[in-house]
Each structure stands twice: as C-alpha cells, then as structure tokens.
Amino acid sequence: MAVAARCRLPGLVDVGSAAVRWRPPWALTAGCRKKSTQFLNRPDLPKLAYKRLKGRNPGVLYLPGFAATMKTDKALAVEDFCKSLGHAFVRFDYSGCGASGGNFSECTVSRWKKDVLAILDELTEGPQILVGSSMGGWLMILAAIARPERVAALVGIAAGADYLVTAFGQLPLETKKEIEDRGEWYLPNKQMEEGFYKIPYSFIKDAQNHCVLHSPIPITCPMRLIHGMKDEHIPWQVSLQVAENVLGSDVDLILRKQSKHKMIEKDDVKLIIYTIDDLIDKLSTLE
C-alpha cells in the first residue's frame, strides 16, 4: 500500500517515513456517536435497525456474524474509517437481533438474506463493498450472487460459508434425530454466557438451501478473505474453499497464524482496515 494511503487511515499517526504508530480507531471517536438508530420499515416483515453515514462511493456495507449486532468493535472501526475518508457506510441488525424487530427463533438464512438485500436496495446507492464477519461472510456471498451489479468487492472476515450445515452434517445420526425431535440444536460456544447457541432446527433445514461450497460460486468481483488459523469456531479451510470455488481471479486469502475467530486484536483490525482501504483505492482507480 502506498505511503499516501497509509497516512489517511484512522488511528495511524505518522512518526516519520519508517514507522507508524497505531491507536484503535474506535478510541479516537469514543463517546462521539450521537446519531440515533434509524429503522427500515418493510410491509409484512420485521423492521430493521440501522445506522448510516452518507458519503461518496464505493460505499461500505457491514454484515455482522451469527446473532451478533451492529455494535461490534469491528463494525465501529470500519465506520470510523469510512467517516475519515468521507465514504458512505451502513451497519445494521438482522431481524430477530439487536434493535431490529422479529423473533430470533423464527430467523432463517433466507430471512437474513432478504434483510441484507433490503438494506442494499433501500439504503445504499452505487457500487458497494460488502464486509461480512462469520455468518455475514456467508450472507455477503449470497448477496453478491443476487446483486452482481451492485456489489463491487467483498471482504470476508472468518467467513462462515455453509458452516452450520457442515457442522450439523458431521453429527452422529442419533444426535441429529434428537435435534430434529427437540426442534433445537445447542451448539457449544464458550463466548456465550449460557455456553451454547440455541439454533432452531428450522434454521438448519432452511440453510441447506443456501449452501455455496458444492459448486462454482458465480462471483467475479474482487474478493479478500481474512481468517485466523486459531479460529475455534470456523476452520480457516472454509475460506480456502470459498477462494477455490469463486469464478473470479482477483481473490486473495490472508491467513493470520495467531488470530482467533472474532479477529478483534489490534493487528487484526488494522489488517481489515488496510484491506478495505486498498479495495477502495483499486475501485476508484477503475472508475
């Protein structure tokens, strides 16, 4: 990345040509977010909570992970970066999550895909860079397939393409039958207070209709995939599979040897911001 590009990144302070000092982007604007949450109302569907920055294109749309909200540190860091450059940015909560309407027990991949497309269609203009974390990485792929004319580039952070379906498929037959009878799958997660995610069986059945790793993925826009090799939830090989299956040639897979699933360490976030910045430069050059 050119030095000029590095100098404009939030949290980076020049201290000479040979060194740059880092401060987390969200630390620079902590306490300054006064803009209230807005809502996208949809006929017969739950309202979606979102926050939007208006600005120039390409815009950036952030897709959170499974059961996560738009208030994660990564989402806020990307927002700060876009604000510093004057680029458009949107973050939002899926239906059944955060401040959005709906019940989580009724959520499916189909519904969350509709959420993403609604945000993309109604709240953004022109080319967009989709940044998807975990489950958001799966949904960004589905959105890019559905709206190739709107999606200019993709950034996957521990992209979880097909992962819940794959994990469910690896369970013993007896366990699958128990889950089907009970109607819920208790998926272990040490980061949850309860120690597990409670996933409706209907979510798994619906997700099986949206798998992308068993055939070529019809996406040709630039794609950057970042994954930690110590990811305790989604193996980094999932991102490798995505890279191998995508039809486009402008695909980079970046593996971080010590990083875990959430990728919230200082150097993780810095890499995410660098990656988005590089794509913005690339797309701006192509205009």
Strand order across the beta sheet in which 38-42 lies: 38-42, 45-53, 87-92, 56-63, 128-133, 151-157, 223-228, 251-256
CA pair distance 40, 226, nearest whole angstrom = 30
- Does the annotation count 261 as an active-site position? yes
From 210, 227, 233, 261, active-site residue:
261
Give yes or no: 134 in active site. Answer: yes
Q: Three-state DSSP class for 55? A: coil
Q: Give just the sign of the alpha carbon dihedral 138, 281, 275, 62.
A: negative
Catalytic residue among 133, 134, 239, 259: 134
Distances (CA, A) of 25 to 48, 160, 220: 26, 25, 31
Distance CA 163, CA 40 (A): 29
Which position among 93, 231, 268, 277 bears the catalytic label? 231
C-alpha atoms less than 13 angstroms from C-alpha of 32 in its C-beta half-sphere: 10
Q: Among this protein's residues, is 231 annotated catalytic?
A: yes
Q: Which residues does the annotation mark as catalytic?
A: 134, 231, 261
